[in-house]
Structure 1
Amino acid sequence: MLSDMIYWPGEEPGSPPREPGGAGKPSARVLIIEDDAGFAASLRRLLGNAGYQAEIARSGRAGLDRLSDFHPDLALVDINLPDMTGHEVIRAAREQDRDVPVIVVSGESEIDAAILALRLGALDFVRKPIEPEILLHSVARALAQRCLEREHKSARTRVDRSERLHRFLVDSSPDIIFILDETGKLSYVNQRLRDLLGLEEKQVVGRHFSRLVHEHDQKRARYAFSARKLAETARHSVELRLKSRADATGFRHFEINLAAVGFPGGSEMTGSAEPGYYYGVARDVTARREVEELAVYQANHDALTGLPNRTMFRDHLSLALIQAHRNQERIAVLFLNLDRFKHVNDLFGHAKADELLRQVGERIQHCLRGCDTLARFVGDEFLLLNASAKSDAEVLAVVERINRELAEPFKASGKSVHLSVSAGIALYPEHGETADALIRHANIALYHGRLSGSKSHTFFMQEMGDSTDQRLHLQGDLRHAIRHDQFEIYYQPQVDIRERRVKGVEALIRWNHPERGLLPPGEFLPLAEEANLIGDVGEWVIRDVCKTIRQWDVLGISPPRVAINISPRHLDESDFVERFVALLAEYQVDASRIEVELTENLFIRDPSAVAQKLQSLAAHGVMIAIDDFGTQYSSLSYLQKFPIHTLKIDKSFVWEIDREFRQHAIIKAIISIAHGLGLNLIAEGVETDEQLRFLELQGCDEIQGYLISKPLRREALEALMIQGMGSMPTP
């Protein structure tokens, strides 16, 4: 029987198969590649007591040799070996076609090396010193996976042999299976041709295969199917687009494997007159290609509007600058901002505002030429590249066309919404010669236009790079606000998603400006950073929060945790930690009651200095949270290197739960990462019951958003805490 001929490397034909791997498989063999004799011996005893056969190799070379005679089902490999690294052992094993699974044994300081080993194919890594339960669990899991892989490989081998020996070309195959004669004409094709390409067998048999190939892939197909190319290897693979009447695009992507067979004497390939043929398999990979293309698209486009994002815009602008320099042409960069859009957002909510942003993007595009590029920068801000700005008047005409296009009222919740844009304009070469300079100067021009009043457009001027009288005046107001306590802290509850109890609150600063009213942080914190006042503002927040916690303690209503947002520039101050801890001591606040929130971009500034300060804060008991996780510099490495306690899912992901299923996978991944690392998880911006249900189903720990409570003044939060004793009503 054919099945009796199938055996694994290292097993003699006819011998009973050994079943390695997993709990309940005591015959499984484990090779320990470890140069520390004492540690290796302890591993061997541990594995032996668990019923495994364990052998020791004291070096990488010895371990590779034992792969041939011991035939292990699993290898435990140390990263640092006397003659070669664990990475080299893994690579060498793969080069020898040894498919033995590997578990890396690594010290704490070798975490990066262990991660590299995982990328090379290791199944898991276990830190030294070893915890027996963790090691045995990892070994059992790896062996169970090994067993499943062998069973899968065995089944695949049986199917492959059966196909080759009995019937390779079957109409039930999910692939298009075909035979070509030696001239390239189709002599047989299965029924999948009809399903995937919308063609019948009689329409293609007798015709050349090239008739099926998309015109853009003809050259590649001609090269791949040449007799010389086919003679170089027994099988040849190429990806081609084939014409399809069954697909709206008119084509589908296929991975085509072609082999020359039936050449006993050779035909043209061998010089014999006896004819041969080629058999081929065309596997539909359209779905895979769509996923790949979607990933590229998402990396270069804004998820909300579908417009290019700032990354793609910068690339387009850089190319346009090269062309403009060569042709001595002018280029205009326009930084567009929707007027009074915050009011629209507050009035109609985020969902309606997002829909309006999409419509705005569509209308602006109607005003542009094919050579222009419109991108969404962030929020209600857009970037526009006018690739041929012959005159200032021509640029202003673009702004006027856009505002005429936007003049037609939009509709939101049955109401008319009137929108317009203001533009900051920077010109090449007058205002800058690089992409970053032009974008920055256009933004500055927009800002100055806002300060100056009602102008819908502002050209950049060099003096705008310096402080203006109005900006200095506002900075003076800000300094006055710091000295005279014009700020106020609002608190937004963070609620346990299962118990509906307040687990903490986030402190959010507001400015009670004597002339402009209550200002949100977005309208003055950037100015505070420009004026180097962010440290003073941050210290005011920390002091006020500590003072409030002390008062709450007297009332017996203090929430367990208060989160404070810390600016990267505030953290840059050399004595930040000392002053922070001193304030806690001054008001007798337990450091564990405070959580500092930091954004991800902080971790690329000066990782070693940041790590030192965060470690110092954590040593005093302060909790560390990562705000807006996943929107900026997302890296698993800093989750391991920094003393992080909490991840906050950015509201941009949460808002898409109701309508964007691709965001579900991102949120699930963030939750899995947080729970896998033992971190607390808070979802921001929860506004609907559907968002709450999804987050609760996925195991999110806490939620924060308008569904539970808007940011509250201190007195309102105190009343809520006194009334509900920390519990929130079920939405």
Structure 2
Amino acid sequence: MRIVNEQAEVVFDSTGMAVQINGTVQDITERKLIEEGLRTRERQQAAISELGMHALEDPDINTLLNEAVSITALALGVEYCEILELLPDGKALLLKAGVGWKTGSVGCVTVGAGNDSQAGYTLHSDKPVIVGDIRTETRFSAPSLLLDHSVVSGMSVVIKSKDYSYGVLSIHSTMRRTFTRDDANFLQSVAIMISDAIERKKLSSRINHIASYDTLTDLPNRILFMDRVSMTLSRAKRQKEQIAVLYLNLDRFKVINDSMGNETGDRLLISASERLVNCVREGDTVSRMGGDEFAIMLGGITSASDVAKVSQKVIEAVSKPFVLDDREMHITASIGISMYPQDDEEMEGLIKKARAAMLQAKEHGRNNDRFYNTEMETSSYEMMMMENDLRKALDRRELLLHYQPQVDITTGRITGVEALVRWRHPDRGMVSPAEFIPMAEETGLIIPIGEWVLHTALAQNKAWQEDGLAPIKMSVNFSSVQFRQKDPVGLVANALRKTGLKPEYMGLEITESVIMKGADVVIKKFHELKGLGIHICMDDFGTGYSSLSYLKRFPIDILKIDQSFARNVTTDTNDASIVTATIAMAHGLGITTIAEGVETKEQLEFFRSHKCEVVQGYLFSKPLPAEDVTKLLREGGRFEIKDL
């Protein structure tokens, strides 16, 4: 069939009578085909853009799949479109989303995943599979799903990620259609967008799980435990019920961990956690609070004797020998118990008092339990003394800063350092930050300590520059407590002004817990900090409870991959997948990535191969005093990457 354009002109004589008709007939088939092709491409590009906008809204997968089939069918002008999900057994595909199909088909109909069906054939093909007429197709047979809907033509592409195939995206028409290369490219683009969205959802789900569950034992972590206690308390208050919190410490665990190594210690914690879970009812919660400390919440308690029975059951279970590598190991448990409403009516108070009772159990011989009573101190005498000493540490100039280099993974050049506070106690020696930083945050001492760290670190960086050394960025940690103070933006601005350091040479490392609060006032503070000209870094990414959508809402320059991922990235495929996806996601958002805790050449090579820009860890340098960093910078400020 050809398309023509006809034009005619009538010729009249002197009397006005028509005597002749002059006309032309022009074949405009090619022009019309080009115009139609342009309209089709515009329609398809608009569809891709619309689907992309839906994906950015971070909907649930089912919603996105339904949007995808609707948009695809409309863009290609077909009656039917479906997404088939490959089932776990790999033998069949389930109709996951579709348009045009009979009511009740979606979520129920399956087709074989073998080469004898169009979907199965597509699943094992790297190219789009185009069917001109299903009735004469010889590569595979037509399934009843298509024949029952009078389908004639169609096209299918596989939906796959780097590591696996999710399923098949197909379109069908009841008319004989000739699908073009542009149509195939469009369908593949939709499949890629679906695959990317599924991968983002899997990563987000994994990160959210990590945020709520302990990565070693897979027990609920402190955040989730506190949330569950709060919810159970609300119900208990309405229904006049009692609940109990048991706070547990594993006696002698540190001895075993220090003597046998972290790997053995980790396995012991896993075994102990399994025993704890077996001691409670299904509706109760067992949580790892950190280190060798656990907590248990018991709901619907009728009496203190019920709680005591559970506590003794736990003590007996933990005291039984653990056998690891044919070697018996013995630990015991000290347990503190608090109850609602007798001891406290709020979540924080119940946990605090249960822990205080646990300390009393340890002081009274261990391997026993103690119910909280009002005579117990809220913390041990030693902790009180440490708090008093910490209050005086600044005035006594016992605090100091060490600096750990951050290294360009390509050139080996030191691009910056992270300032890390240390406490040189006159009697205890060097006190671990893990001991005094949580105490500082709990007591509010982190405010003056944090201000001292900020001014000292920026002044040191300015001093290096005035000494003629190559400018580098100084990264300073900023806790959630500091961020919640009255004017954190003014604090940073004042430090920059007093030290004279240009803002581009400062980075502020802020944890996910701050970012996840996400209130308008928090977002406003972030933009004000960014307005100073400094770099904003999300610290310890993956250890909190962040959603990927938060990265789009905050002016983040740097994403710092937590060392817990770096530690296992070459041995744990889950950690490797999360890190790979995180780096790719960060690059897609224009965010620089830093991997901390890099200690081996294998880890370095992994991050280098995945184009992480900056690394930090003991492979290059431990945190150093200022004078040692000065020496490094004077000697060129560079590590020989190729020699590692």
TM-score class normalised by the smaller sequence: 0.5 to 0.7
1:603 is aligned to 515
2:588 is aligned to 676
1:574 is aligned to 486
- AA in 1 matched with 2:584: S
Q: If the length of structure 1 is used for normalisation, what is the TM-score?
A: 0.57
| Shift in alpha-carbon separation, 1:544–1:233, aligned structure 2, 3 A | closer
Equivalent residue in structure 2 for 1:629, among 541, 564, 569: 541
Question: Residues of 2 paired with 1:432 and 1:373: CA distance?
Answer: 19
1:265 is aligned to none
Local SS of the residue matching 2:412? coil
What is the 5 A alignment of 1:429-448? 429-432=341-344, 438-446=350-358
What is the 5 A alignment of 1:504-515? 504-515=416-427
What is the 5 A alignment of 1:317-336? 331-336=243-248
Question: Residues of 2 paired with 1:19 and 1:649: CA distance?
Answer: 55
Q: Tell me by how many angstroms 1:495 deviates.
A: 1.6
2:607 is aligned to 695
Local SS of the residue matching 1:431? coil
2:319 is aligned to 404
- AA in 1 matched with 2:401: I
- AA in 2 matched with 1:651: Q
| Shift in alpha-carbon separation, 1:239–1:456, aligned structure 2, 3 A | farther
Question: Residues of 2 paired with 1:606 and 1:233: CA distance?
Answer: 43
CA contact (8 A) 2:406 2:616 kept: yes
Q: Tell me by how many angstroms 1:509 deviates.
A: 0.9
1:565 is aligned to 477
Aligned CA-pair RMSD? 5.3
Question: Residues of 2 paired with 1:577 and 1:319: CA distance?
Answer: 35
Q: If the length of structure 2 is used for normalisation, what is the TM-score?
A: 0.64
Equivalent residue in structure 2 for 1:613, among 502, 505, 525: 525
2:568 counterpart of 1:656: yes
- Unaligned runs of at least 5 residues, structure 1: 5-14, 32-51, 55-71, 76-99, 106-110, 125-141, 161-173, 176-191, 197-231, 242-256, 263-286
What is the 5 A alignment of 1:443-482? 443-446=355-358, 457-462=369-374, 472-482=384-394
What is the 5 A alignment of 1:539-554? 539-554=451-466
Question: Residues of 2 paired with 1:704 and 1:627: CA distance?
Answer: 13
1:503 is aligned to 415
CA contact (8 A) 2:245 2:351 kept: yes
CA contact (8 A) 2:462 2:500 kept: yes
Question: Residues of 2 paired with 1:363 and 1:582: CA distance?
Answer: 53
CA contact (8 A) 1:29 1:74 kept: no
CA contact (8 A) 1:335 1:381 kept: yes
| Shift in alpha-carbon separation, 1:73–1:530, aligned structure 2, 3 A | closer
1:666 is aligned to 578
Question: Residues of 2 paired with 1:343 and 1:555: CA distance?
Answer: 47
Equivalent residue in structure 2 for 1:394, among 309, 316, 322: 309
CA contact (8 A) 1:330 1:429 kept: yes
1:531 is aligned to 443
Q: Tell me by how many angstroms 1:726 deviates.
A: 2.6
CA contact (8 A) 2:489 2:529 kept: yes
| Shift in alpha-carbon separation, 1:701–1:450, aligned structure 2, 3 A | farther
| Shift in alpha-carbon separation, 1:537–1:385, aligned structure 2, 3 A | same
Local SS of the residue matching 1:595? strand
| Shift in alpha-carbon separation, 1:593–1:345, aligned structure 2, 3 A | farther
Question: Residues of 2 paired with 1:560 and 1:668: CA distance?
Answer: 27
Question: 1:228-266 deviations in whole A, cap 9, x for unaligned?
Answer: xxxx9676566599xxxxxxxxxxxxxxx999x99xxxx
What is the 5 A alignment of 1:131-210? none
Q: Tell me by how many angstroms 1:418 deviates.
A: 5.7
What is the 5 A alignment of 1:40-439? 72-75=43-46, 100-103=47-50, 115=57, 236=105, 298=209, 302-309=214-221, 331-339=243-251, 351-365=263-277, 373-386=285-298, 390=305, 393-394=308-309, 396-405=311-320, 408=321, 419-432=331-344, 438-439=350-351
Question: Residues of 1 paired with 2:556 and 2:370: CA distance?
Answer: 44
1:583 is aligned to 495
Question: Residues of 2 paired with 1:528 and 1:435: CA distance?
Answer: 21
CA contact (8 A) 2:332 2:367 kept: no
Local SS of the residue matching 2:622? coil
Q: Tell me by how many angstroms 1:334 deviates.
A: 1.5
| Shift in alpha-carbon separation, 1:335–1:625, aligned structure 2, 3 A | same
Question: Residues of 2 paired with 1:441 and 1:18: CA distance?
Answer: 82
| Shift in alpha-carbon separation, 1:643–1:540, aligned structure 2, 3 A | same
Question: Residues of 1 paired with 2:256 and 2:467: CA distance?
Answer: 40
Q: Which has the higher contact order (CA 8 A, sep 6+)?
A: 2
Q: Tell me by how many angstroms 1:573 deviates.
A: 2.7
CA contact (8 A) 2:275 2:318 kept: no
Instruction: Count residues in correspondence.
Output: 516
Question: Residues of 2 paired with 1:642 and 1:315: CA distance?
Answer: 25
Q: Tell me by how many angstroms 1:543 deviates.
A: 2.2
CA contact (8 A) 2:315 2:332 kept: no
Local SS of the residue matching 1:686? coil
CA contact (8 A) 1:683 1:702 kept: yes
Question: 1:454-481 deviations in whole A, cap 9, x for unaligned?
Answer: 7864433457696887655433312210
Q: Tell me by how many angstroms 1:655 deviates.
A: 2.8
Q: Tell me by how many angstroms 1:306 deviates.
A: 3.7
CA contact (8 A) 1:335 1:425 kept: yes
Question: Residues of 2 paired with 1:453 and 1:551: CA distance?
Answer: 53
| Shift in alpha-carbon separation, 1:392–1:641, aligned structure 2, 3 A | closer
CA contact (8 A) 2:54 2:64 kept: no
Q: Tell me by how many angstroms 1:676 deviates.
A: 1.3
CA contact (8 A) 2:73 2:81 kept: no
| Shift in alpha-carbon separation, 1:637–1:371, aligned structure 2, 3 A | closer
Local SS of the residue matching 1:499? coil
